[in-house]
Amino acid sequence: MRSEEIRERFLRFFQDRGHRLVKSSSLIPDDPTLLLTNAGMVQFKPYFLGAVKPEFTRATTCQKCVRTTDIEKVGYTARHLTFFEMLGNFSFGDYYKKEAIPWAWQFLTEEMGLDVSRLYCSVYEEDDEAYAIWRDVVGVPEERLARLGKEDNFWDMGTTGPCGPCSEILYDQGEEYGCGRPDCRVGCDCDRYLELWNLVFMQFDRDERGELHPLPNKNIDTGLGLERLASVLQGVANNFETDTLAAVLYRVADLAGVPYGKGEESDVSMKIVADHSRAFTFMVGDGILPSNEDRGYILRRLIRRAVRHGRLLGITRTFLPSMVEVVVETMGGAYPELKQNSTFIISIVRAEEERFTQTLRSGLFYFEEAVRDLREKGGEVIPGEVVFHLHDTLGFPLELTRELAREKGLALDEEGFSRLMEEQRNRARAARIQEGYTAQVQEIYTEVLDNFGETRFTGYQTMADKARIVALVKGSHAVPEASAGEEVEVFLDRTPFYGEMGGQVGDTGVLIGPSGEAEVVDTQHPMRDLTSHRARVKKGRLAVGETVEAVVDRERRLAIRRNHTATHILHYALRRVLGEHAKQAGSLVEPQRLRFDFTHFAPLDADELRRVEEMANAVIIEDHPVRAYITTYDYAVSIDAVALFGEKYEDYVRVVEVDDISRELCGGTHVERTGEIGLLVITGESGIGANMRRIEALTGKEAYRFYRARQDLLERLAGSLRVEVDRLPDRVERLRQRVKELEAELKKRESREVAALAEGGVELSETEIAPGTVMITFRVDGLDPQKLRELAERTLLQRGAGAVGIATVCDDKANLVVALSRPLVEMGLDAVELVRAAAREIGGGGGGRPDMAVGGGSNKEGLPGAMRALVEEARKRLESGHA
Ligand code: ATP
Ligand code: MG
């Protein structure tokens, strides 16, 4: 029977018994206490704990599982894998032992047709109820029933919480699988009595003192290993030879050119490669990436271990992509996510293999040298320095060195290694301080990072998250708590708050603790991977160790992400309108507005700006999907993702795609569809340096507000002009026309007035100031300086005089003006000097140009004297010839 059929018949069997078919959950569990999903019950934990009420009381699943606790056993036992599929049926306060036990038996014997005489069952030593059901209801003879102790048959999730006895169904594979020890029986570690199925009867709640209290609702949680059952049904020697794994195993053998079964050592390596290939393919498929921490580290270890065993088998070229392919072929039917992500998985796995191959090459060489050295000296323990060098300089994980040593029959000086690691950490710390940071605070940041690791950013998925306060920093001190009124930096183990980066400002929001509340006013990264929430405690207090509800100001974040996606769209539109040279040079993404700097050689004209804005709005209105994913830098480059010039990127990068319109490397937060942006309006364009332009724009509500304000303005304008908005241009044009006419009319009238004055009506006196040159002087009251000047000019022209002087009293002040003809100015006479000399008589001063100057003073009575002085001064200067 093929694995696929087993899977389907199991799920059908329980669906027929009222179970809801639930999909396998991701290998990344929704549970901070667990790195990887390792059993079917993981996704149901909240139901078992009573935290959430399920919509159904019976469920059945086929769950993908990874168990790294079994990693050392892989290849050495017949039954252990790091990746396996667990079939399960679950009861949440519904049926219990009387149903679960007979059903399990019925499935194995009737549905699967297992040989009854080979089946054994174990129960917890105190569980008489289960024992009786096996014996009396199912009819298992007592010699095939075993009572086992706590380690084997009592299950719990931890020191407290739900727990209960369990009961296992085992299959006797025959003596040849056994260890041969005289006391080999059910419960033995060897492969003879193969544990197929574990039925857990969750019936107690254990309190802090370790006392057991019966649960009001009893639960069932069972786990049946698909590969183990398949190995029995297919009559093969181990998990690796079952149909799904065999294809993978034979692929390794093919690639190595070594037949499976050739020898113990090569078989173990093949099994390890086959198993690990399944594990890392599924892990990357679920979004885990190689790193030095947590599940990323487990993944890295699995990939590297597979590479090393591949090399041991003699495979010299890059081969893991081919392993991914065979896993996708064999498992892609049941797990379509593998097919969907296969290109991505291959690119990640290939990159990690290539990197590690480099490492391995230099590291193994060094290791072999060190071992030869050691052997010559007759030593058996590889010194800490060697282990450290392998780790620190050559990138060998400790486990790898340990494994290599074990293969050589040598031990490691792990204590020496740890000491060197610690020293190195101290050195690094000292170095960081010397880089000129404010030592103390920097030290705290470093401490926080060292002790609690990087802050996990959950803000791509959520705007509210539960998180633990790992540290509080006030001024330059770490503090255990902060109370109302205090300002602190809060460090969390995970956070939905986006720390300012890549032009996008930091989030604001609130932290709600069990006994207090703080307002987050800004979020920053004092160090890479470390997020600091600048907060002010508003109520009560916050303390280290507390769990808080971290809630981002949603409205603000939504506005920010609209602006952020808009910058990507603007970038696209600019390149389309202006050409490929228009590249992003910087940006600022705030909630109220966005700013986008780019390279271009000239100001944008109105038409270009309008085309850019129109194109951007077309993208918005078409409501394109926006998606983000992580990939290798090389892959991103190969698909032409736009990278910021001069930025340094990690091996893994995040790509943000607006449909097939734009693709950029970006860590920011974005809308899900462009339609959310609503509207984009360009509010400014300016130059900010050589060949560098800046566009300012608004989106969403701000853009609406902008247009709303414009509209209001128009309406007010139309109201005050008493027309419809549509008719404003007409009306304004008519008004301008009218103003022009009136101005012309006014000018004419004024000129007429002045002309009348100049022509008569006032008494003029004419004095010869030089032979043939006359100066005309007269007085007219009530003229302002402007009119005074006009009148002087006009008189000069109309009378053909050499100079004109006019006196006036206006607004109770005495003024006078002097105008000189061009020839007089050329002779060196200066109107400013003349007017100043005359203004002395009226107790004032004056100024202007050499041909026209105005003076003024408060002494009105002095005016006649001033006029005389004017004529005198002109004559004197001309006479003396040094005018
Ligand atoms: P074992 O003692 O053989 O390691 P277990 O007690 O760890 O098994 P459970 O935790 O009860 O197993 O898991 C339920 C079922 O899942 C097991 O009965 C077995 O069929 C299967 N299973 C557990 N671990 C593995 C593994 N490493 N590889 C393959 N199947 C496994
Ligand atoms: Mg186990």
Number of CB atoms found within 10 A of residue 626's CB: 21
pLDDT reading at 811 higher than 70: yes
Which among 556, 846, 847, 597 has a CA at the least distance from the CA of 701?
A: 556
Q: For position 431, what pLDDT does the model report?
A: 53
pLDDT reading at 418 higher than 70: yes
Task: Dig out the tokens for 13 from the structure.
Answer: 């069997």
Reported confidence tier of residue 601, pLDDT bands at 50, 70, 90: confident
Q: Tell me the pLDDT tens digit for each residue of 737-748.
A: 999 999 898 878
Q: At what angle do helices 226-233 and 3-15 cross, to 10 degrees?
A: 120
How far is Cα 437 from Cα 527, in angstroms, rounded to an integer? 11
Number of CB atoms found within 10 A of residue 654's CB: 18
User: Which of 30-34, 59-63, 353-357, 691-695 has the highest mean predicted lDDT (pLDDT)?
Assistant: 59-63
pLDDT reading at 560 higher than 60: yes
Pocket probe mutation, ligand 1, options 3, 86, 171, 189, max atoms within 8 Å of Cβ: 86
* 52 CA → ligand 1 middle, Å: 27
* 795 CA → ligand 2 middle, Å: 116
Task: Give the burial string for 53-83 (b: 16+ CB within 10 Å, else e).
Answer: ebeebbbbbbbbbbbbebbeebbebbbbbbb
443 burial (CB, 10 Å; 0-12 / 13-18 / 19+) is middle
Reported confidence tier of residue 759, pLDDT bands at 50, 70, 90: low
| DSSP state string for 300-351 | HHHHHHHHHHHHHTT--S--HHHHHHHHHHHHTTT-HHHHHTHHHHHHHHHH
Give the lowest-confidence range in 49-58, 436-445, 474-483, 761-770.
Answer: 436-445
Please give the backbone phi and psi of residue 393, each rounded to the nearest 5 degrees, phi first: -95, -40
Task: Give the burial string for 447-456 (b: 16+ CB within 10 Å, else e).
Answer: ebbeeeebbb
Side-chain-side CA neighbours of residue 815 (13 Å):
21
pLDDT reading at 286 higher than 90: no
Sign of CA dihedral 410, 415, 419, 425: positive
Minimum CA distance residue for ligand 1 atom 2: 195
pLDDT reading at 104 higher than 60: yes
CA distances from 730 to 7, 164, 715, 721, 743 (A): 79, 88, 15, 11, 20
Q: For position 440, what pLDDT does the model report?
A: 57
Contact 280, 306 (CB under 8 A): yes
- The larger pLDDT score, comparing residue 88 to residue 218, is at 88
* 80 CA → ligand 2 middle, Å: 8
**Ligand 1 residue neighbourhood (C-beta within 6 Å):** 67, 70, 79-81, 84, 86, 195-198, 223-225, 227-228
Q: For position 439, what pLDDT does the model report?
A: 46
Q: For position 605, what pLDDT does the model report?
A: 94
Sign of CA dihedral 75, 80, 82, 83: positive
3-state secondary structure of 65: strand
Reported confidence tier of residue 475, pLDDT bands at 50, 70, 90: confident
Which 8-state DSSP code applies to residue 536? E
Q: How far apart are the first and last CA of the chain?
A: 125
* 67 CA → ligand 2 middle, Å: 8
* 756 CA → ligand 2 middle, Å: 118
- The larger pLDDT score, comparing residue 156 to residue 820, is at 820
Q: Tell me the pLDDT tens digit for each residue of 202-214.
A: 998 888 888 888 8
Alpha helix (H) residue ranges in 411-553 = 414-434, 439-452
The atom of ligand 1 lying closest to the CA of 239 is 29
Q: Tell me the pLDDT tens digit for each residue of 617-654.
A: 999 999 999 999 888 877 887 777 776 544 556 667 88
Amino acid found at 234? Q
Q: Tell me the pLDDT tens digit for each residue of 113-160.
A: 999 999 999 999 999 999 999 999 999 999 999 999 988 899 987 777
Q: For position 288, what pLDDT does the model report?
A: 84
Q: For position 64, what pLDDT does the model report?
A: 96
Measured from the alpha carbon of residue 74, the closest ligand is 1
Q: Average pLDDT in the 291-308 region?
A: 87
Measured from the alpha carbon of residue 279, the closest ligand is 1
Sign of CA dihedral 216, 217, 218, 221: negative
Pocket probe mutation, ligand 1, options 198, 200, 239, 245, max atoms within 8 Å of Cβ: 198
Measured from the alpha carbon of residue 70, the closest ligand is 1
The atom of ligand 1 lying closest to the CA of 222 is 14
* 225 CA → ligand 1 middle, Å: 6
How far is Cα 23 from Cα 59, in angstroms, rounded to an integer? 10
Q: Tell me the pLDDT tens digit for each residue of 223-254.
A: 999 999 999 999 999 999 999 999 999 999 99
Reported confidence tier of residue 325, pLDDT bands at 50, 70, 90: very high
Q: For position 148, what pLDDT does the model report?
A: 93
pLDDT reading at 582 higher than 60: yes
CA 266 distance to own-chain centroid: 44
- Antiparallel, parallel or unpaired: β 58-66 and 20-21: parallel
* 80 CA → ligand 1 middle, Å: 7
How far is Cα 167 from Cα 510, in angstroms, rounded to an integer? 48
Q: Average pLDDT in the 92-119 region?
A: 95
Task: Give the burial string for 201-236 (b: 16+ CB within 10 Å, else e).
Answer: bbbbbbeeeeeeeebebbbbbbbbbbbbbbbbbeeb
Minimum CA distance residue for ligand 1 atom 20: 225
* 81 CA → ligand 1 middle, Å: 9
Task: Dig out the tokens for 854 from the structure.
Answer: 């105005």
Q: Tell me the pLDDT tens digit for each residue of 384-400.
A: 999 998 888 777 878 88
Share of the chain above pLDDT 70, in %: 96
Share of the chain above pLDDT 90, in %: 64
| DSSP state string for 106-154 | HIIIIIS---GGGEEEEEETT-HHHHHIIIIII---GGGEEEE-HHHHE
pLDDT reading at 816 higher than 60: yes
How far is Cα 508 from Cα 858, in angstroms, rounded to an integer? 65
CA distances from 736 to 110, 292, 729, 742, 749 (A): 99, 74, 10, 10, 20
pLDDT reading at 24 higher than 70: yes
Q: For position 646, what pLDDT does the model report?
A: 47
Pocket probe mutation, ligand 1, options 195, 227, 231, 245, max atoms within 8 Å of Cβ: 195
Q: Average pLDDT in the 554-566 region?
A: 97
Contacting residues for 734 by C-beta, under 8 A, at least 6 apart: none
Contact 78, 238 (CB under 8 A): yes
Minimum CA distance residue for ligand 1 atom 23: 225
How far is Cα 11 from Cα 20, in angstroms, rounded to an integer? 9
Reported confidence tier of residue 165, pLDDT bands at 50, 70, 90: very high
Amino acid found at 517? E
The atom of ligand 1 lying closest to the CA of 81 is 28
pLDDT reading at 846 higher than 50: yes
How far is Cα 40 from Cα 59, in angstroms, rounded to an integer? 10
Q: For position 441, what pLDDT does the model report?
A: 67
Q: Average pLDDT in the 172-199 region?
A: 90
Q: For position 276, what pLDDT does the model report?
A: 98
Q: Average pLDDT in the 26-45 region?
A: 88
Q: Average pLDDT in the 20-42 region?
A: 89
Q: For position 623, what pLDDT does the model report?
A: 97
3-state secondary structure of 720: helix
Give the lowest-confidence range in 335-349, 355-369, 641-655.
Answer: 641-655
pLDDT reading at 853 higher than 60: yes
Number of CB atoms found within 10 A of residue 648's CB: 5
